[in-house]
Amino acid sequence: MKGNKKSGTVWRGLTSITASLLAIMVGGTGIVNVNAAFINSRLGTSNYKYIDEGDGTSDSTYFKSDYTSLSDVIDAKNALAEQIAAEGTVLLKNDNQALPINTKSEKVTLWGLNSHNPTLGGMIGSSTAVAEDGQTAYSLEAALAAKGFDVNQKMIDLYSSDAVTAYARKGGHALQPSFGPIYENPSAYGVGEAPASIYTDDVLSSADQTAAIVVISRDSSEAADYNPGMKNATEGDSFTTPLALSDYEKSMIALAKKHSTKVIVMINASNALEIDELKKDSEIDSIVWVGDPGVNGFLGVADVLDGTENPSGHLTDTYAVDSTSSPAMTNFGVYNYTNNSASGAADAMNADNKSDWFVVESEGIYTGYKYYETRYEDSVLGKGSATAADGSSTGSAWNYASEVSYPFGYGISYTTFSQQLESVDVKVGGDSTAKVKVTNTGSVAGKSAAQLYVQVPYTEGGLEKSSIQLVGYAKTDVLKPGESAELTISFTADLFASYDETAVKADGTEGAWVLEAGDYYFTVGNGAHEALNNVIADKTGSTDRLVSTTAQDTIDAANVQKWNLAQTDMETYSANVQNQLQDMDINKQIPGTVEYTTRSDWTKGWKTIDAITPTDDMMVGLNNSLYELTANGDGAAWGVDSGVTIFDAMNFDDSGKFTGVKALNDPIWDQLVNQMTLDEAIQFIEKGGDDVENIDSIMLGRTYANDGPLGFTYDQVSGYYMRWSKSMSSEATYVAQTDDKADYSMNTMPTDPVVAATFNADLQTQEGDLFAEDGLWSNESSLFAPGMNIHRTPYNARNHEYYSEDPVLTSAAGIAVCKGAEAKGLEMEPKHFAFNHQESNRSGVSTFISEQGARETELRAFQGVMSSNSCSGIMTAFNRAGTKFVGAYSNLLINIARNEWGYEGWYNTDMINGADYMNWRDITAGGGGNCLTTSAYDTSKLGTMAASKDKIAKDTKFQQMMKYNIKFFLYQMADSNAMNGTTSTTVIRHVLTWYQILIYSLDAVFTVLTVLFIAIGLKKSRKSSIKVETMTDQGGEIR
């Protein structure tokens, strides 16, 4: 009896265990399946495979690799990365010919703890992790050793010792990225330098007869910013701002000056630092900027240091004396609305009901050098109260010499060059050219970049104009001493047209791109400042009062070409143009809120806008409800079988060679979209993810996309083999997991500022080409790159992912990279469109800017690559444009990009990090594409798109927008490497991965065991009951 009872509880206990495990497995199975795309991307598994039901004889490799092995691709990439880093290195100062270093006779000492922990790239999207086995991320120490430098080991040992580890940045980083909201500016940053007390006499004496290479470093990261109010987190150290030299750095430099034969300062940062004291210090012989050079870049830097390469890079940002002195810094950081409670202004803000953020870009068009140089000209000419103390970094009368250390575009060489602007041929509405004769006037062979600038006519008090603008550039090959070359710089006049919000065109619409009548001054120069000096000298006939930034500057009035426009033109570049961004101007929402920077009065524009109470109109955007689903129209057709596949949209010549895709207005694109089911369309939009799910109805397999500007990021893709399945092993670029380089990292290029600093379109195009090779060899079809936002201030810690403060340089570099990649089938997706100018509270920050400022700076950076359709896609930004999520802002996405520029690519959002404001409904209605998420909408107030299918099916207008957006995606996808391996007879078969088979098996096992244990338990219980009844019948007693 007792035995039976005990047995019953055992079976019940076992039932409890298996039932609980079954419950966990059922929940876990759901989690796994929802996240299967992500898991597959990590495990290199796939839920589908292609099957060719034809005879298998057709050539389905439409985009071919130029390499026969993965090893060759990697070698080519490493070599190019090294070359880019070498040409992107910028020599700022070189007194006493301290550089190059003679590695045969000179020994070097690396100074600064950050020489041991340099920053190679960023964190998250531009991280520089590499495979542990076989791949090298070259630190400065490793690169110098590889290039044969004799480096002082005692200093390296000191920096490697436990005694100083506590001061060091971990892996070259001290920024702390955060995806969550913050309500205070970031407060601390650890420079990672050590106090002078760590240097023993023995170490110091070891440096005495060596050349000092002093590394000053600041790191970079996505989802982080610097802030002028930060304190130094390194114990005992301090600074005035995080971009200024810290006390420990200064004391370290003092020791280096005392204990060396020469001092070379290396700037390892993507954010312009305050280095004026180094520039003016006669004991500092050389300053060289290397940016964040990536895992191979220090090899190229070493080539510059030893003279193997002659530096030819130029600054992509202004190096200001005071990093906070530009008007853009007046409004940078964390500012909250006074009240944007969805329940109304009467509902007070509190700890649980906090307001959102905004930033007012009060500088208008005066970003970077356009502020410093324009104010400089006005200060020389005595206009606009330019010498007033307002905005002066010294607190007294503003003067250029006290404001700028090194101007935008500056960079010197081991040799000297003369550049003569021989002619300029401007064709409004056509292609313009300038011819520049470049001569190597020194004694060392080298390359020279010619930068073409223009000054457009300005009327005091009229339309805001920068006094100098870059319009194009070109670079020579290596010129031997005495050798000359003629460069042709191509440009278009729209690059220096001004946007006039008040202009009324012939068709009566308001807003136009304007070329005002008057003289246009073209010139070349070693940077914007030298160019402007040429122009001012030509205009005034005098060099009096002109300021040179360095002794190497020249002022040559004769090097100016004047072009006259007789009549103001506001039509040529204004087709389909009218004001679209008026609601981004806070003064149009709440009159008088901001006083914009204006060259008519430089005392204006310095007021911080730290409090805004949104109006009812603004709350429409802030409430994340730009569109409501309604029942309207006659419905939309889905699942209409036309018997076409995406393959049918491809064109082939008589020999069977792929020649491109059918035009966007061809009916096949509508046929393809209509053939999709509504479920597929919903899946495409809300499950964009890093990968896009199959669209079986049109035979489009899963396609893969990933970050970032340095190449496909290692933490997301983790090697070449990850996106391949064995069913694709017949493809020429297939990489098996057993390949010895299968798990190599692909993100091995230098960061974008270094790429731009080369001023070399050929190198930039080659970078794109090798990105595309990685796409072919890793089975990836799309790269979220390049970053094309403007460096609005030096304080955005994500500046390393963007090229420059200048939109024309950004545009040109972006176009070159994208063209290189797209030619070989990799779909490039420049990011973050648009106005992503700070990472603090990037999720949902409202960006306010004047329409002129927006169009002439940020949008000009994107316009070239989008209007030329050099990219297949665009990633939208996290921020709002005004109060509306920018990824749902139809004025920008459709009215400007598509209707004005003729953009034919698709959009996808950045990662959904704020599922309520980045909601699928507003995105779709606003002309966005797909949403980079896998399950974020599960937690949103709106819920998932799939859950709203019935409501969607009743909203014809909404469904038409779904189709409109998807069509661009299909149009681009058909013209990409994603089609490799697909033929007219290809079909897609769904399969389960090994881990899905495993979990389904476990589900089954636990189900069977649970049922079994229940049955046994019940049986035992029944037997027990029968025995009890029997015993009771026989007079027994229960105990």
> Site residues (CB under 8 A) for other proteins?
5, 8-10, 12-13, 15-17, 19-24, 26-28, 30-31, 34-35, 124, 176-180, 223, 934-936, 938-939, 1021, 1038
Cα 12 from chain centre: 58
The answer to whether the CB of 372 falls within 8 A of the CB of 381 is no
The answer to whether the CB of 182 falls within 8 A of the CB of 128 is no
Q: Please report how close the Cβ of residue 625 comes to other proteins at its closest, in angstroms.
A: 21
Q: Please report how close the Cβ of residue 715 comes to other proteins at its closest, in angstroms.
A: 8
Dihedral sign, Cα of residue 299, residue 301, residue 304, residue 310:
positive
CA nearest to 550, candidates 450, 401, 414: 401
Q: Please report how close the Cβ of residue 916 comes to other proteins at its closest, in angstroms.
A: 12
Q: What is the DSSP pairing of strand 231-232 with strand 188-189?
A: parallel
Task: Compare residues 177 and 518 and give the one whose CB is closer to other proteins.
Answer: 177
Q: Please report how close the Cβ of residue 1002 comes to other proteins at its closest, in angstroms.
A: 13
Burial class (CB in 10 A: 0-12, 13-18, 19+), 738: exposed
Task: Compare residues 436 and 797 and give the one whose CB is closer to other proteins.
Answer: 797
Cα separations in angstroms, 33 against 26, 240, 262? 11, 52, 62
Please provide residue 17's backbone torsions phi and psi, each rounded to the nearest 5 degrees. -65, -50
Task: Compare residues 201 and 1037 and give the one whose CB is closer to other proteins.
Answer: 1037
Q: Please report how close the Cβ of residue 218 comes to other proteins at its closest, in angstroms.
A: 20
In 694-770, DSSP assigns E strands to 703-707
- Tell me how far apart the alpha carbons of residues 630 and 457 are, in angstroms, rounded to a whole number: 52
Q: Please report how close the Cβ of residue 622 comes to other proteins at its closest, in angstroms.
A: 21
Q: Please report how close the Cβ of residue 447 comes to other proteins at its closest, in angstroms.
A: 41
Q: Please report how close the Cβ of residue 747 comes to other proteins at its closest, in angstroms.
A: 16
Task: Compare residues 41 and 674 and give the one whose CB is closer to other proteins.
Answer: 41
Task: Compare residues 15 and 796 and give the one whose CB is closer to other proteins.
Answer: 15
Task: Compare residues 183 and 652 and give the one whose CB is closer to other proteins.
Answer: 183
Tokens of residue 703, six digits: 């396609």
- Tell me how far apart the alpha carbons of residues 393 and 528 are, in angstroms, rounded to a whole number: 20
Q: Please report how close the Cβ of residue 178 comes to other proteins at its closest, in angstroms.
A: 6
Q: Provide the 8-state DSSP code for 936.
A: G
Q: Please report how close the Cβ of residue 27 comes to other proteins at its closest, in angstroms.
A: 3
- Give the full edge-to-edge strand order of the sheet including 930-932: 831-833, 873-876, 906-911, 930-932
Task: Compare residues 34 and 444 and give the one whose CB is closer to other proteins.
Answer: 34
Count of beta carbons in the 10 Å neighbourhood of residue 349: 15
Q: Please report how close the Cβ of residue 803 comes to other proteins at its closest, in angstroms.
A: 25
Q: Please report how close the Cβ of residue 19 comes to other proteins at its closest, in angstroms.
A: 4
Q: Please report how close the Cβ of residue 28 comes to other proteins at its closest, in angstroms.
A: 6
Cα separations in angstroms, 200 against 191, 192, 204, 205? 22, 19, 6, 9
Task: Compare residues 36 and 735 and give the one whose CB is closer to other proteins.
Answer: 36
Question: Between vectors from CA 527 to CA 523 and to CA 530, what angle results, nearest 5°?
Answer: 60
Task: Compare residues 18 and 924 and give the one whose CB is closer to other proteins.
Answer: 18
Task: Compare residues 175 and 203 and give the one whose CB is closer to other proteins.
Answer: 175
User: Element (H or E) spanning 158, and its range?
Assistant: helix 153-160
User: Element (H or E) spanning 876, and its range?
Assistant: strand 873-876
Cα separations in angstroms, 989 against 48, 600, 884? 5, 67, 41
Task: Compare residues 351 and 566 and give the one whose CB is closer to other proteins.
Answer: 351
The answer to whether the CB of 1016 falls within 8 A of the CB of 1022 is no
The answer to whether the CB of 687 falls within 8 A of the CB of 38 is no
CA contacts within 13 A on the Cβ side of 56: 6
Q: Provide the 8-state DSSP code for 293.
A: -
Q: Please report how close the Cβ of residue 180 comes to other proteins at its closest, in angstroms.
A: 5
Please provide residue 616's backbone torsions phi and psi, each rounded to the nearest 5 degrees. -60, -40
Start-to-end C-alpha separation, the chain = 9
Task: Compare residues 22 and 456 and give the one whose CB is closer to other proteins.
Answer: 22
H-state helical runs in 369-483: 369-381
Q: Please report how close the Cβ of residue 17 comes to other proteins at its closest, in angstroms.
A: 6
Q: What is the DSSP pairing of strand 846-848 with strand 357-360?
A: parallel
Task: Compare residues 6 and 231 and give the one whose CB is closer to other proteins.
Answer: 6
Task: Compare residues 914 and 981 and give the one whose CB is closer to other proteins.
Answer: 914
The b/e string for 891-909 (b: 16+ C-beta within 10 A; e otherwise) is bbbbbbbbebbebbbbbbb
User: Element (H or E) spanning 514, and its range?
Assistant: strand 510-514
The answer to whether the CB of 743 falls within 8 A of the CB of 792 is no
Task: Compare residues 127 and 533 and give the one whose CB is closer to other proteins.
Answer: 127
Q: Please report how close the Cβ of residue 485 comes to other proteins at its closest, in angstroms.
A: 49
The answer to whether the CB of 719 falls within 8 A of the CB of 743 is yes
Task: Compare residues 26 and 637 and give the one whose CB is closer to other proteins.
Answer: 26
Q: Please report how close the Cβ of residue 14 comes to other proteins at its closest, in angstroms.
A: 9
670 backbone φψ class: left, alpha, beta (φ>0; ψ -120 to 50): alpha
Task: Compare residues 48 and 179 and give the one whose CB is closer to other proteins.
Answer: 179
Task: Compare residues 577 and 912 and give the one whose CB is closer to other proteins.
Answer: 912
Q: Please report how close the Cβ of residue 1021 comes to other proteins at its closest, in angstroms.
A: 8
Helices (H) and strands (E) in the chain, counts: 28, 36
Cα 598 from chain centre: 30
H-state helical runs in 335-463: 369-381
Cα separations in angstroms, 375 against 392, 399, 466, 598? 11, 9, 9, 10
CA contacts within 13 A on the Cβ side of 270: 35
